[in-house]
Amino acid sequence: MYERVIREAQTRDDLDAYLNAMSLRKVWFELFLPLPVKTAWETRFPELREPGATTAAA
């Protein structure tokens, strides 16, 4: 369900209604998301990145 909500949400209210931050952190690495989507979320929410992961090399 989280994959679908992240891909198809139309508004912030949609995300707020269906996603739980703690649950999202637990399943994040199991989600199959397009790379641009995953990158955008990890940029906005760095706590979702794998420990030791960095952003794009400079």
In tens, the pLDDT along 3-58 reads 999 999 999 999 999 999 999 999 999 999 999 999 999 999 999 998 766 655 44
CA angle 31, 58, 29 (to 5 degrees): 10
Query: Rounded CA gap, 10 and 22, in Å?
Result: 22
Which residue is listed with tokens 């995953």? 38
Query: Rounded CA gap, 33 and 42, in Å?
Result: 12
pLDDT at 51: 75
pLDDT at 4: 96
pLDDT at 50: 82
